[in-house]
Amino acid sequence: MEGLPADLLDQRLRDFLAEDVGSGDVTTNAIVSEDAAAAAEIVAKSECVVSGLSVSRRVFELLDPALAWDERVAAGATVPPDTVLVRLSGKARAILTGERVALNLLQRMCGIATATRRYVDAVSGTGCRILDTRKTPPGLRAFDRAAVRDGGGSNHRAGLFDMVLVKDNHRAIAGGVKAALAAVRRSAPAGTTVEVEVESEEDLREAVAGEADVLLIDNQSPATVRRWVSIARSAARPPAIEASGNVRLANAREYALAGVDSLSVGALTHSVTAADVSLEMSLVPAGGRG
């Protein structure tokens, strides 16, 4: 998965399994023989954009390396209710033990991809991108970012390390945009993208004069955003412009038409509505793998 090397992905998934399984799956181990085989289908019960199948597959493979996995749809596809996403077969114990971790990740990722697609569709034709934010639960950021991409969105900075983003508290401590930019120019690695959050026209003009690469217009009305975009675009070196705060599905297009390059939407990942996905399972006759 992009952003998470295979060995780190496996470690993360093992940690998730360890949290759930602990000293052992007492129910499954009591009921299901060690050599029992099973077949299963993973079914989307609600309409959704598909994301996370490769992650779910890896959860099961860590428990049964010989698992058979027949993926029926591609990441990013929109599917109607009752669509079979995958047919799988293997050790019954492995499928039962891995089910909850695999489905939790899959449901969350499909939910994020679905929400992202709605925003992408809302701004279609405007040239405006939909971005995620760092408002993700610890440990899940790489999964959330992958789901945003599957939904047609784009990723903002991965963390605190890969770009400068001067926010309100930075401005307050530094003594304003101009002072914050001066400090950044002295210390940040050469070539680092510099973005400045602005909440007033004075902030905006200082950020433009300081040649910030990106302006983040926060918590302003579409009319104000339109006016500030016009000011910023008139600069000799106009920055890219992002808007955030108060952006909802109902008004996303209005913000996009105000002329910004991107909209960042925290709700994509901090208020996820999981897709309804289930696993339906049956035993395989002795000697079979489904």
- Catalytic, 135? Answer yes
DSSP character for 238?
Answer: P
Among candidate residues 64, 99, 195, 218, the one labeled active-site is 218
Beta strands in 211-251 (DSSP E): 214-218, 240-244
Among candidate residues 134, 167, 178, 226, the one labeled active-site is 167
- Catalytic, 100? Answer yes
Nearest to 53 by CA among 45, 44, 65: 44
Among candidate residues 100, 157, 178, 205, the one labeled active-site is 100
Hey, what are 101's tokens?
């971790």
- The beta-carbon contacts of 155-161 under 8 Å, at least 24 apart in sequence, are 155/131, 156/131, 156/132, 156/264, 158/3, 159/134
- Catalytic, 12? Answer no
* Helix, strand counts (H, E) of the chain: 11, 12
Give the burial class of 225: count Cβ atoms within 10 A of its Cβ; 0-12 exposed, 13-18 middle, 19 or more buried.
buried
- Whether residue 239 contacts residue 220, with contact meaning beta carbons closer than 8 Å, is answered with no
How many angstroms separate the Cα of 67 from the Cα of each of 9, 74, 88, 139, 172?
18, 19, 7, 26, 55
- Catalytic, 226? Answer no
- Catalytic, 10? Answer no
How many angstroms separate the Cα of 138 from the Cα of each of 10, 45, 159, 220, 289?
16, 28, 11, 29, 37
Among candidate residues 72, 134, 135, 205, the one labeled active-site is 135
Catalytic residues: 100, 135, 167, 197, 218
